[in-house]
Amino acid sequence: MVERQAPRQEAKAAQHASGAARVLAESLPRLILEARRIAATVIHGLHGRRRAGPGENFWQYRRFLSGEPARRVDWRRSARDDHLYVREREWEAAHTVWIWADRSPSMLFSSPLAHTSKLERGMIIAFALAEILVQAGERIGVPNLMRPTGSRNVLDKLANAIIHDASERPSLPQSFAPSSLAEMVVVSDLWSPTSAVCKTLSGLAANGAHGHVVQVVDPAEETFPYSGRIEFIEPEGAGSITAGRAEAWKGEYETRVAHHRAAIRAETDRLGWSFTIHRTDRPSAELLLALHGRLSAPPAGAQMSAHARLAGQIAPTP
């Protein structure tokens, strides 16, 4: 009996997977267009992630430091006042940013309080961030899905990789640890068990990588606007539970969410990572501006270089 049922189950699973893939494939062009529009809005007026280092392009003048070789002095600039100056160039080495956008079943949730699902918002954020960073000269990769690339058609590559991804959709990246010189951006609803979330973040930071965690939530998951008899169904196989008077659960629900977030924030603080909560009824550009600023800032606790400590001595660009 089991042997006869197996082909039917496989066919049913294949049909479901095919339908889900078709829906995703049909929605991706719209998501890409939306991501490009938002990225263009955010990019306008932003400065790139510029750093001093080996390169061809002039960046800034700074004061000459005692002990540096005299050949580094820019004598033309130094002749204009009583100080010696060095001409710094912009670092052109590409930086790798790994972006994880949660595509698990729980991300499909969308309440009447929002116009988009968490899945669509998470993917738009990931696509737009990839577009912004590649235009800034960085390389983008997706754990266990796409190797780092600085290609200008990064969104097409990313969409193609997602469409042809036949693996399971875990909520968090599995068995992955970026290098110490890379950065990690995790975009997820983070509704996995608290211990699992903290363990994953600790693993991602094992090699010393800096990171940013974004919890994408539906407004209903924040406000718990339910009353009366409600059946709550866990979308990832944990079953369902029925509340006779859902409004009576509001206080305990808010307490548990607060404790869950406090534990995650404590872990990100310990790792020197950032933690942001984003609601799907808020503009995507709002989050992207914050993320860009955090990606451009030095990691928390990072040692300041001699040049940074003397930032007050940097001369304005002529």
Is the pLDDT at 10 greater than 60? The verdict is no
The structure's pTM equals 0.71
Q: How would you label 118-152 residue by residue, b for 16+ Cβ within 10 Å and e otherwise?
A: bbbbbbbbbbbbbbbbbbbbbbbbbbebbebbbee
Is the pLDDT at 170 greater than 50? The verdict is yes
Provide the token pair at 152. 């200008």
Check residue 4 and give its pLDDT: 47
Exposed / middle / buried, residue 110 (Cβ in 10 Å: 0-12, 13-18, 19+):
middle
Looking at CATH, the fold of the domain delimited by 27-47+95-296 is given as Rossmann fold (3.40.50)
* Residue 110 CA, distance from chain mean position: 21
Q: Which residues are CB-contacts of 23 (< 8 A; sequence separation ≥ 6)?
A: none
Domain segments of the chain as ranges: 27-47+95-296, 58-92+304-313
Is the pLDDT at 53 greater than 70? The verdict is no
Is the pLDDT at 198 greater than 60? The verdict is yes
- Name the amino acid, one letter, at 185: V
Cβ–Cβ < 8 Å for 252, 260: no
